[in-house]
Amino acid sequence: MSSSRLLSPFHRYGKSASFRSFHGQKSAVSVGRSVRSLVGKENRNIRAMSSHQPFLNLDNINPNVKVMEYAVRGPLVIRAGEIEKELEKGAKKPFNEVIKANIGDCHAMGQQPITFIRQVLALVSYPKLLDDKNFPEDAKERARTLLEGCRGGSMGSYTDSPGIEVIRKHVAQYIEKRDGIPCDWQNIVIGGGASDCIKNVLKLLICPINAKQPGVMIPIPQYPLYSASLAEFNMAQVGYYLDESKHWGLTVDELERSVSEAKKYCVPRAIVIINPGNPTGQVLTKQNIEQIIKFAYKEKLVILADEVYQHNIYDPNSKFHSFKKVMTEMGEPYNKMELASFMSASKGFMGECGLRGGYAEVVNMQADVKAMYLKAITAMLCSTTLGQACLDVIVNPPREGEPSYQQFVKEKTEVLESLKLRAKMVADTFNSMEGFSCNPVQGAMYAFPQFKLPAKAVEAARAKGQAPDAFYAFELLESTGICVVPGSGFGQQPGTYHFRTTILPQTDKLKDMLNNFSKFHAGFLKKYS
Amino acid sequence: MSSSRLLSPFHRYGKSASFRSFHGQKSAVSVGRSVRSLVGKENRNIRAMSSHQPFLNLDNINPNVKVMEYAVRGPLVIRAGEIEKELEKGAKKPFNEVIKANIGDCHAMGQQPITFIRQVLALVSYPKLLDDKNFPEDAKERARTLLEGCRGGSMGSYTDSPGIEVIRKHVAQYIEKRDGIPCDWQNIVIGGGASDCIKNVLKLLICPINAKQPGVMIPIPQYPLYSASLAEFNMAQVGYYLDESKHWGLTVDELERSVSEAKKYCVPRAIVIINPGNPTGQVLTKQNIEQIIKFAYKEKLVILADEVYQHNIYDPNSKFHSFKKVMTEMGEPYNKMELASFMSASKGFMGECGLRGGYAEVVNMQADVKAMYLKAITAMLCSTTLGQACLDVIVNPPREGEPSYQQFVKEKTEVLESLKLRAKMVADTFNSMEGFSCNPVQGAMYAFPQFKLPAKAVEAARAKGQAPDAFYAFELLESTGICVVPGSGFGQQPGTYHFRTTILPQTDKLKDMLNNFSKFHAGFLKKYS
C-alpha cells in the first residue's frame, strides 16, 4: 500500500482548525445556524402534518457546504432581488431601480458586447450564416477554423477535456506575445470560466501532510470564490492582509507572520495572488511580485495567480506583469516553480460573464501530477464550446488590415477608456465623503473604500445582530437601491469597515449613483450622530 | 457546537472501505501505480539535471483524484487519439479512420444539429439578426423572450445560479406536460450539463453518519461519471447488479443483497437509477420502478433518477415512465420522498453535447436543505447562458401552426427513427456473432453485448497485464479503428466480458463498422483458438 493511501483526506484534523474563519469575520457556522432557525420552524410544521420524515436534514448533509459562504451572492443580494420584484409589482420606493454594484457583471450594467465576438458566435452556432454577405470575412475565417477544430464540424460535439486544440494553441500564442516567453499549448486547460479552472487546480492540493490539514494562503480582502472553495474542500484558509496604506500591496513581513501562524495548525501548500486586485483594484509592481515569488519558493508554495483582470489597467503608472514572466526572468531556481495562472472571458473589455469561458496555464507541473490533474477533469467531459469560441476571439482578435480591425479596436478602446474614467470618478467621490478613504483604482473593476461608522450605528448594527458594514449596506440598499457587498464578505482588518462596489454602471448612471450615495451617507451620519 | 460540526467529512473511515472498488474490476489504485512507474523515471531524470525539487508529486496530491477512473475517456480512447494522429501523418493501417463508438457524441458521428435550436442560438448571440428576414418569426420570438430574461438584455450577463427564470419556467411546463403532474419551477436547477447537476446533488450527501462513510447505490454496469464522482468525494460505491437475463432490469433481491452487504462498511444514502439505461439500453417498466421506489423508501434512500435518455425510446413495447410520475401516483408516503431527476441537452434528438446544458428537478427537498444546496452552487456563479438557451428550445419547441414546426418535427423524427433502426441493426448483428449475446436496445444510445473469450485470449491478456475485455478492445482498435469501451470500465459480473458501443455512426458507416467488427471477431477467435 502506498503511503498516500494511508493519508486519505478523510483524516480527522484537530477540530479547532476544521472550521477556522477569518479574523474579524462573522463565523460562517453561526450563519448556518441562523438559516436553520429561520426555516426550521416551517419544516417542523410541515412534518407534523405528514407521516413522512424527510431523509435529508441539516444534520445529515455535507457540513462543508453548510459553512460555505459566497458574499457576492449573499443575503444582501437576495434582498436586492426581492426589492426588484417589489418594484415590478408597483411598490413605492425612494428609487426606481436597483443598481447591482455587487457583482462584476459588465453587460448587466449596460456594457455592449464586442461585435466581432458575437459575429463569430453566431457563425459557429449556425454555419449557414457563412454564406451571408453581411458577415465580415475575418469573422468567417475564425468561425471556419473553429468548426474545423470540432469533431463532425459541429459546436455540438464534445471537445477534448482541456479544450479544442486550435484554441489552446491560440491561447499559447497570446501568452507568448504578452510575455515574450515560450508557452506550450499543452499547458493550457480551458474550463467553464476561471472559477472552474481555479477549483480544478485547488482540488489537486487536497491532501493532508503528516496528518495536518492542507492550507492555502489567500489575500484579505479576497474574492470569495477562494474562501467558498476552500470551505467546500475543507482546506485551511490562511489569510494574509493586503496593506491598505500601500495601495493594497503585499508585504513580506505580513506573509511571514501569516505563514508562521498557519503552520501551527496546517501545512500551507499554495499562495493565491489576485492581480489586478479583486476587490481592491491594485496593480502589483514587478518588485512586489519578485518578493512574493521568493517567499513562495522559500515556503514551497505553488503559486496560483488570478490574473483575470490583466486587460483592466487604468493607472498610467501601472503595468500588468504576469507572474510567469517575472518568475521566468528571475531565473533558477524560481523559473522552475509550479505556477497556475488564470484568465477569463468574463472580465477585460469583453465582459462575457454568461458565456463561461476561462483557462489555466499550468507551468512546471511534473508529468505524473499533470496526468492526474488532466484525468480529474475528464469526468466532466468538456467545457462549453461556445465559451471556448469566445475565448478564441479574445486571444486571436482581428489583426491590422482585416475588415473588422478598426471597429474591434474602437469598441475595445471605448470600453477600457470609459472604465478608466469611471475608476477615477468612483475613487474621487468616495475620497470626498466624510470619513471615507479610498485607494486609487489602478486596475480591475472595483473600489474597496474604507469608511468610519458612528458609534451609534455600530450599536444599532449589534442590536440587529448584523456586522456593522452589512448594516450600513442594508440601509444603503433600502434607501437608494444601490447594492454593494460589505467588506466582511471579503475579509478586512478587525475594526475597519469597507464595502466593494463595481465601477460598472454606465457613466451617467454612475454619476447618479455616486450622487445618491453621497446624500445617503450624509443622512446616515446625521441619523446616527 | 452543533453535532454536524463534530461529524466533519474529514473523519477517518476504516481503510478497507476508503478505496473499495467494484468486484471484478482492476483496482484503480494499481492503475495509479502503473502511471507512476511509467512517468516516474522521466521525472527522476529531469530532477537529476535541476537543483529544484517540484513541490507537487504523487505522494502529496489529492489521493481521491489518484483513484478516480473515467473509462469513457480512458487509456483506450487516448490510444485512439494517437492512432488518429498517426493516420493524419500518413501511417499505413488496415483502416482509414478511427470510429469513436466509445462516447455518446452525436454530432461527432455525423448527426446534424436541429435547425431551430441553432437559429435561436445565433439570434441570441448576435441580436442584430433579429432584423434578418431569413430567420423565422418563431425563432425570433424565442430569442426575444430569452434576451428579456437576461440582465441588460445580453447573453453575456451572469444569470441566477439555478438558471434564467423564464427557462426554469419552461422546463417546469415541459415536465408538467410530460407527467400530467404539477411542477414547481423553483425546483428546477440548470447546470452545465447533467454531469454538473448530478455532482452538485451528490456533493450534498458527503456526510458521515455515526462515523461511517456515506454510500451511494449505483448500477453495475454504470455510467462512469458516478464511480468517478464518488471516488472524488470519497463516498462508498455500493454496486447493485442489473440482471442481464431480464433485459438489464433491477431485481429487489439483488438490491437487498447489495444494501445489506454495504451496511457493513457504510451508510447508504441514495440510489442512482439510469433509465433508459447507460450502458445497457434498457427501459424500465412501471412495475420495476415501483419496486425500486418501495425499496428506496424502506432504506431511506434519496432517489437520483438519471433520465437523460427520456427521448430515446425505440422499442414499441417500451414507454418512458419518469420516477417522479410513478412516485407521485403511488401516493403517500412515497410521493413525499426526496427525488432528483436529471435531464440533458446532450442526448435525445438534439445531441448538443458541446453546449453543456442540463437540469435537475429536485422534489420534496426540505426548505433548509434546499437553501444549502442552492447556496453551494452560487460560488460557480452560473452555467453557460447559451447552454441554457439550448435547453429552452428543447423544452419549448415550435408549436403546431408556427413557421418552424414542420421542419422541426421532420428533423426530430428523422434522428429518432434512424436511431431506432440502428439500435436494431446493432443488437441483431451482435446476436449473429459467435459467442455473443446482446439484449435489445430498447432505449438510450448504446449496446452492451456479452461475449465469450477463448481461454488462449484470456491467457494472452493476463500475460500483458490487461483485463481480457480491454485486451479484446485494444486488438479491435488496432485492427479496425473501432473504439469501444471495455465492460470493466462500467462494471460487470465477475468472469463475464462486455463492451459498450454507441449506435451513433450514421447508417452506412455503422453497416461497415459492424461488418468489419464481425470479420475481426472471426479472425480473433481463429487466432486464439
For B398, other C-beta atoms within 10 Å of its C-beta total 21
| Residue A69 CA: distances (Å) to CA of A367, A489, B228, B272 | 35, 8, 26, 29
Q: What is the CATH number of the domain that holds A84?
A: 3.90.1150.10
**Residue B499 to residues B79, B449, B470: CA-CA distances in angstroms?**
17, 6, 9
Q: Please, are residues A107 and A384 in contact by the beta-carbon 8 Å criterion?
A: no
Contact residues, A window 292-311, toward B, CB-based 8 Å cutoff: 300-302
Q: Which domain holds residue B423?
A: 71-97+409-527
| Interface mutation target, options A7, A61, A190, A506, chain B, most CBs of B under 10 Å | A61
**What's the CA gap between B405 and B409, in Å, rounded?**
6
How close A391 comes to chain B (CA, Å)? 13
Answer whether B55 sits within 8 Å of A269, measured CB to CB.
yes
Residue position matching grid coordinates 500564442 = A173
Residues B265, B378 share a domain: yes
Reference B204, options B380, B359, B2, B375; nearest CA is: B375
- A219 forms beta bridges with A240
Query: Is A54 part of the contact surface with chain B (CB cutoff 8 Å)?
Result: yes
Q: Is residue B218 located within the same domain as residue B280?
A: yes
Q: What is the residue whose three cell numbers read 483592466? A: A312
Q: Are residues B364 and B422 in the same domain?
A: no
**Same-domain check for residues A358 and A414:** no
How far apart are the CA of A171 and the nearest CA of chain B, in angstroms? 20
Decide if A12 and B10 are in contact by the 8 Å CB cutoff.
yes
SS3 state at A213: strand
> In the numeric block, which cell numbers belong to residue B127?
441580436
A12:B13 CB<8 A = no
Residues of B in contact with A122 (CB under 8 A): 121-123, 125-126, 129
Pick the last residue of a domain from B395, B424, B457.
Answer: B395
Please list the pLDDT of chain B residue by residue as tens digits (529 residues).
Answer: 333 333 333 333 433 333 333 333 333 333 333 333 334 444 444 444 456 789 999 999 998 988 887 666 678 888 999 999 999 999 999 999 999 999 889 999 999 999 999 999 999 999 999 999 999 999 999 999 999 999 999 999 999 999 999 999 999 999 999 999 999 999 999 999 999 999 999 999 999 999 999 999 999 998 889 999 999 999 999 999 999 999 999 999 999 999 999 999 999 999 999 999 999 999 999 999 999 999 999 999 999 999 999 999 999 999 999 999 999 999 999 999 999 999 999 999 999 999 999 999 999 999 999 999 999 998 888 999 999 999 999 999 999 999 999 999 999 999 999 999 999 999 999 999 999 999 999 999 999 999 999 999 999 999 999 999 999 999 999 999 999 999 988 889 999 999 999 999 999 999 999 999 999 999 999 999 9
Asked whether residue B60 is assigned to any structural domain, the reply reads no
3-state helix, strand, coil in chain B (%, to 5): 50, 15, 40
Q: Tell me whether residues B5 and A13 touch, CB distance under 8 A.
A: no
B153-176 pLDDT, tens digit each: 999 999 999 999 999 999 999 999
Task: Answer yes or no: is B15 within a domain.
Answer: no
> Nearest Cβ partner of B154 from A52, A65, A107?
A107
Please tell me the distance from the alpha carbon of residue A330 to that of residue A294, in angstroms, as a whole number: 10
pLDDT of residue A27: 33
B interface test, pick of A1, A4, A339 with most B CB neighbours within 10 Å: A4
Give yes or no for a contact between B65 and A368, defined as CB atoms under 8 angstroms apart. no
Considering the domain boundaries, does residue B131 fall inside one? no
CA dist B52 and A327 (Å) reads 14
Q: Is the same domain home to A475 and A377?
A: no
Which of B58, B224, B352 lies at the smallest CB-CB distance from A156? Answer: B352
Domain boundary among B363, B395, B427: B395
Pick A61's closest partner by Cβ from B61, B205, B229: B205
Count of helices and strands (H, E) across chain A: 19, 14
Given B395, B426, B445, the domain boundary residue is: B395
pLDDT of residue B454: 95
Q: Which residues in chain A have their CB less than 8 angstroms from residue B151's CB? A: 100, 105, 107-108
Does A169 map to a domain? yes
pLDDT tens-place values along chain A, 529 residues long: 333 333 333 333 433 333 333 333 333 333 333 333 434 444 444 444 456 789 999 999 998 988 887 666 678 888 999 999 999 999 999 999 999 999 889 999 999 999 999 999 999 999 999 999 999 999 999 999 999 999 999 999 999 999 999 999 999 999 999 999 999 999 999 999 999 999 999 999 999 999 999 999 999 998 889 999 999 999 999 999 999 999 999 999 999 999 999 999 999 999 999 999 999 999 999 999 999 999 999 999 999 999 999 999 999 999 999 999 999 999 999 999 999 999 999 999 999 999 999 999 999 999 999 999 999 998 888 999 999 999 999 999 999 999 999 999 999 999 999 999 999 999 999 999 999 999 999 999 999 999 999 999 999 999 999 999 999 999 999 999 999 999 988 889 999 999 999 999 999 999 999 999 999 999 999 999 8
Longest CA–CA span in chain A (Å) reads: 73
Q: Across the A/B interface, how many CB contacts are shorter than 8 Å?
A: 410
Residue A482 within any structural domain of the chain: yes
* Same domain (yes/no): A345, A210: yes
A354:B157 CB<8 A: yes
Chain mean position to CA A235: 18
> Rounded to two decimals, what is the model's pTM?
0.90
Distance in angstroms (rounded) separating the CA atoms of residues B396 and A55: 34
Whether B93 has its CB under 8 Å from any CB of chain A: the answer is: no
In a shared domain, residues B429 and B302: no
* CB–CB contact B234 A10 (8 Å): yes
Whether B331 and B422 share a structural domain: no
Q: Is residue B124 part of a domain?
A: no
Cα angle value B156/B159/B165 (rounded, 5°): 125
Q: Which of A4, A61, A356 sits opposite B59 (nearest CB)?
A: A4
The total of other beta-carbon atoms located within 10 Å of residue B90's CB is: 6
Whether residue B175 sits in one domain with residue B78: no
Assigned domain for B150 exists:
no
- For residue A502, which of A485, A478, A479 has the smallest C-alpha distance? A485
Shortest Cα distance from A178 to chain B (angstroms)? 25
What's the per-residue H, E or C state across B414-448?
HHHHHHHHHHHHHHHHHHCCCCEECCCCCECCEEC
Q: Do A385 and B10 lie within an 8 Å CB cutoff?
A: no
ipTM of the complex: 0.90
Number of structural domains in chain B: 2
**Got the DSSP string for A495-522?**
T--BEEEES-S-HHHHHHHHHHHHHHHH
In a shared domain, residues A181 and A322: yes
Does residue A105 sit at the B interface (CB-CB below 8 Å)? Answer: yes
Closest CA to A17 of A190, A245, A195, A263: A263
Does some domain include residue A422? yes
Measure CB to CB from residue B354 to each of A39, A159, A228 and give the nearest one.
Answer: A159
Q: Write the residue in A43, A129, A206 that is nearest to B122 by C-beta.
A: A129
Kind of pairing, strands A266-274 and B339-344?
unpaired
Strands (E) in B81-229, as ranges, are 99-100, 188-191, 213-220
The answer to whether the beta carbons of residues B436 and B430 sit under 8 Å apart is: yes
* Secondary structure letter of residue B56 according to DSSP: -
**Using a CB-CB distance cutoff of 8 angstroms, which residues of chain B are in contact with residue A111?**
152
- Any bridge partners for residue A113, and if so which? none
Tell me how far CA of residue B168 lies from CA of A351, B119, B188, B336, B396, in angstroms.
24, 21, 6, 22, 11
CB contact (8 A) between residue A156 and residue B364: no
Q: Kindly determine whether residue A150 and residue B354, on different chains, have CB atoms separated by under 8 Å.
A: yes
Q: What is the CATH number of the domain that holds B285?
A: 3.40.640.10
A428 and A478 belong to one structural domain? yes
Is B34 in CB contact (< 8 Å) with chain A? no
Q: Give yes or no: residues B194 and B333 share one domain.
A: yes
- Cβ–Cβ below 8 Å for A43 and B366: yes
Rounded Cα–Cα distance for residues B35 and A371 (Å): 8
